[in-house]
Every structure is written in structure tokens, then in C-alpha cells.
Amino acid sequence: MINKSIHTNAILRAYEFMRERLLNGVWREGARLPAIGTIAGMARVSRATAWKALSRLKQENLVTTRRGGRTIAGVSDTLQEQHFHQTPALAWQRMRTEIENDITTGLYRAGYRLPTSAELQARYGISTPTLLKALNALVDDGVLARERRRFVVPRPNGASS
């Protein structure tokens, strides 16, 4: 038997994950959202759960779906601007925190290169400037290093290859 409250919490978590990206302008009005499987992976929920959360956003007119399965952000610039002033952290700061959490939890391990910029943009659903600003901030803080035009999680001091 499925625990209904756990399932409901997952839908809410996915809904809030997507809504936050819409209102913060990570997913701009008129832009195509990542595929549902990508969103589900980013929110760490199943595809079915992500669809249910997306349906709720659709009811609130925050997204629209088009023929061919494309989902388009429908948040107006005014609504994003209002939300932006209510939330102090910028999109790149949120992405910086999210990427750092992914490093901390072992998604990206020491000594390994991060995926390409295009792959990271798809995974996190962000623009190139937002991604680069977040990654460069992580380099400045010593969380990442640059190696041949790619970002690498450095090995701890004294660790051998």
C-alpha cells in the first residue's frame, strides 16, 4: 500500500521546485522547459510525480503545453519581478548552492570533471550566463577548479590519483 502523504509531499516538492524556477526567471516566459524526465531527475521525483506537479502549474497558468509535448513557461515578467523582490537570493546563487550540494552528496566526485555546460544547463534548467556565474563563484570559493575549459571537483590536499 502506498503511503498517500509521502506521495503528496513528493508532488508538493516537485511543484515548489518548478514554481521556484519559473518565478525566479530561471525558466523565462515563452521558453521551453526541459523534458519531464529531466525535470523529474532535477527534482528527484518520478516522472509521474513531476507530471502531477506540472498539471498543477498548468491549472495556475504558470505553464502551457503545446502540441508535440512541449511545455512552455507562462510566467509574466511582472510576476517574476514581484517574486524576485520577495526572494533575496539570485538565480545564480541558488544554482551555486544546488551544485555545491550535489558535490557534497557525491553526485560529482573529487577528481572528476563536471558534465559539459550544455548537460549542466539541461540538468538544472538554467541559462548559460547563470550557470557560468554559479560555476565561477564555486571556483572562486575553491569548491571547483578549471582544467582545460572544463570544471573539475578538486581532490582533497594530499590525495593521490
User: Which of the listed CATH numbers 1.10.10.10, 3.40.47.10, 3.30.565.10, 3.40.50.150 matches domain 4-80?
Assistant: 1.10.10.10
Can you point out the beta strands (E) in the chain? 63-66, 70-73, 145-147, 150-152
Domain borders along the chain are: 4-80, 89-152
What confidence tens digit (pLDDT) does each residue in 64-89 have? 877 666 777 775 544 545 544 444 45
Q: Is the pTM of this model over 0.85?
A: no
Alpha-carbon distances of 51 from 10, 12, 43, 152, rounded to whole Å? 11, 12, 12, 33
Residue 147 φ then ψ, to 5°: -145, 110
- Domain with residues 89-152, CATH architecture: Orthogonal Bundle (1.10)
Give the list of residues 6+ apart from residue 62 with CB closer than 8 angstroms, or none: 19, 22, 73, 74, 75
Q: pLDDT by residue (tens digit) across 96-134?
A: 888 888 888 888 889 999 998 888 887 777 778 888 889
